[in-house]
Amino acid sequence: MPVVPTSDRPRPRLTPPQLEEVRGANIVVADDDRITQGMLVNILRQAGHTVFPVDDGQEALERIAQGGVDLVLLDVVMPRLSGHEACRILKGMTADGFLPVVLVTVKTDTASRVEGLKIGADDYVCKPFDEQELLARVNAMLRIKRLHDHVSSQRARLERLSVHDEMTNLYNYRYLNTRLTEEFKRAERYHEPFACAVVDIDQLKAHNDAGGRSSGDAVIRSVADSIRRCVREVDVVARYGGEEFLVVLPSTHFAGSVAVAERIWREVRDRPTDFGGRVFKSTVSIGVALYPSRDVRSKDALLRAADAALSQAKREGGNRICVFQQQGYIYTPSVAASAGDGGRGPRSERGSSLSVAADNPPPSVRLRDDQEGRKPT
């Protein structure tokens, strides 16, 4: 017996999802004729839909405004608010979405049909109506709505992915580049202070080696959440690289940026990651750069300064905060600041770095945003 090639064998016919009968929809039926209203309600409920009967167009709009409606059946002639008027208002209410409207009328002339379609009606059912035709038109409208909702949700998802990092839900590099340019230009125009901080996770490879790449991803997400909790609504947090994040701080002076960096450092240190029954403790190194300063005149120079401060922190062993003030000035909180300098607080030295691990930052760097140029939201 000859063997039929796989490509030539008959295949079962599959019904595309968009052609399947739609059940379980929420439908509003507006008709002042109780007999017609009762017939429509019974037919739709027997078909598996949830029906909300109302007596006129005004009640229909009030019910639709509550949300959760998938389709509307409107009688054309009703007291208070006719079907045509209700349809016109309804289409204005749902301009951002799609809510199908089917007009039910005894008028079968072409002019009446055209008038209803002009004001936004999606279909027409004439009285007396056939049950099978009614259900077919209702199902057709519900299928169109389902497809429309699916396309809208996918469009929204793609728009979100175009500016957000999928793993951390922070902004991505593409959005960061545009937003950083805007914020820097605003700082230049209005002569406002501006700061940014690069946050790098220490020893991420060790987390990957200990628990696999999934554990490393969990650490990245945990650090991202920690950073998000430490900033204002107007600040911008973006994933800058594999294990790096950039925090953009508009209207922020030197001391305010130090306060934010310290909050992030402490939050990450005090919030271990629990993944698969294992607890991972993480630390971060942070490099901060400021505008205006002598050698920061552009957005690129600001980023280079922040990277330079971060590199210094990593060279000193990580788990540190470094602030690049200008060329040759790098600062980190010093544990000796409160006891050894008479309480004068943080200091910086030209041509050298005070890269002291921030295990016990001095009280002088614990500064409130509103005291140090950080405008509250």
- Find the mean pLDDT for residues 263-280: 86
Which ranges of the chain does DSSP label H, i.e. alpha helix?
34-46, 57-65, 83-93, 110-118, 131-161, 173-190, 204-211, 213-229, 254-270, 299-315, 337-340
pLDDT band at 44 (very low <50, low <70, confident <90, very high): very high
Q: How do residues 148-182 score in pLDDT, each as one tens digit?
A: 989 888 888 887 777 888 899 999 988 888 899 99
**In-domain check, residue 7:** no
Chain-centre distance for alpha carbon 117: 37
Question: For the domain that residue 92 is a member of, what is the CATH number?
Answer: 3.40.50.2300
Lowest mean pLDDT among 26-30, 144-148, 250-254, 360-364: 360-364
Question: For the domain that residue 185 is a member of, what is the CATH number?
Answer: 3.30.70.270
> Are 274 and 189 within 8 A, CB to CB?
no
Whether 146 and 59 map to the same domain: the answer is: yes
Which tops the pLDDT comparison, 55 or 112? Answer: 55
- What contacts 208, CB < 8 A, 6 or more positions away? 215, 216
- Find the mean pLDDT for residues 130-151: 92
Residue 26's DSSP bridge partners are 50
Of the residues 161, 181, 210, which one is the last residue of a structural domain? 161
- Find the mean pLDDT for residues 277-287: 87
Measured on CA atoms in the order 353, 358, 359, 363, is the torsion positive or negative? positive
Residue 373 pLDDT greater than 60, yes or no: no
- Find the mean pLDDT for residues 242-262: 92
User: Structure tokens of 105?
Assistant: 């009328």
Q: How do residues 77-119 score in pLDDT, each as one tens digit?
A: 888 888 888 998 988 887 678 999 999 888 666 776 777 778 7
Pairing of strands 321-326, 284-291: parallel
Residue 252 pLDDT greater than 60, yes or no: yes
- Find the mean pLDDT for residues 182-201: 92
* Most confident residue range from 3-17, 63-77, 268-282: 63-77
Whether 129 and 276 map to the same domain: the answer is: no
Taking alpha carbons only, the member of 316, 173, 158 closest to residue 242 is 173
Whether 266 and 293 map to the same domain: the answer is: yes
pLDDT band at 21 (very low <50, low <70, confident <90, very high): low
CA distances from 280 to 269, 270, 341, 364 (A): 10, 11, 37, 31
Residue 244's DSSP bridge partners are 200
Residue 6 pLDDT greater than 80, yes or no: no
**In-domain check, residue 41:** yes
Which tops the pLDDT comparison, 328 or 125? Answer: 125
**In-domain check, residue 355:** yes
Report the pLDDT value the prediction gives residue 263, as an integer from 0 to 100.
94
Whether 121 and 242 map to the same domain: the answer is: no
**In-domain check, residue 115:** yes
**In-domain check, residue 24:** yes
Spatial distance between the Cα atoms of 127 and 104, rounded to a whole number of angstroms: 7
Report the pLDDT value the prediction gives residue 158, as an integer from 0 to 100.
83
User: Structure tokens of 66?
Assistant: 């509550």
Report the pLDDT value the prediction gives residue 20, as an integer from 0 to 100.
55
Range of the domain at 208: 173-371
- Which amino acid belongs to residue 305? A
- Find the mean pLDDT for residues 125-150: 90
Whether 244 and 126 map to the same domain: the answer is: no
**In-domain check, residue 10:** no
Spatial distance between the Cα atoms of 346 and 265, rounded to a whole number of angstroms: 17
Whether 219 and 359 map to the same domain: the answer is: yes
Of the residues 161, 182, 202, which one is the last residue of a structural domain? 161
Report the pLDDT value the prediction gives residue 331, as an integer from 0 to 100.
53
Spatial distance between the Cα atoms of 376 and 37, rounded to a whole number of angstroms: 57
Report the pLDDT value the prediction gives residue 132, as an integer from 0 to 100.
92
Whether 317 and 220 map to the same domain: the answer is: yes
Spatial distance between the Cα atoms of 109 and 106, rounded to a whole number of angstroms: 9
* Most confident residue range from 80-84, 141-145, 364-368: 141-145
Report the pLDDT value the prediction gives residue 84, as an integer from 0 to 100.
87
Domain count, the chain: 2
User: Number of C-alpha atoms within 13 angstroms, CB side, residue 347?
Assistant: 13
pTM of the prediction? 0.61
Which tops the pLDDT comparison, 106 or 257? Answer: 257
Residue 41 pLDDT greater than 90, yes or no: yes
Whether 125 and 274 map to the same domain: the answer is: no
Whether 268 and 357 map to the same domain: the answer is: yes
Average pLDDT, the chain: 79
Report the pLDDT value the prediction gives residue 316, as an integer from 0 to 100.
86
Residue 239 pLDDT greater than 50, yes or no: yes
Report the pLDDT value the prediction gives residue 95, as an integer from 0 to 100.
66
Of the residues 102, 131, 161, which one is the last residue of a structural domain? 161
Share of the chain above pLDDT 70, in %: 79
Buried b (16+ CB within 10 A) or exposed e, 29-53: bbbbbeebbebbbebbeebebebbb
Report the pLDDT value the prediction gives residue 339, as an integer from 0 to 100.
33
- Which amino acid belongs to residue 184? F
Indicate the DSSP class of residue 15.
Answer: P
Whether 155 and 240 map to the same domain: the answer is: no
Whether 136 and 178 map to the same domain: the answer is: no
- Find the mean pLDDT for residues 294-311: 88
Whether 186 and 299 map to the same domain: the answer is: yes
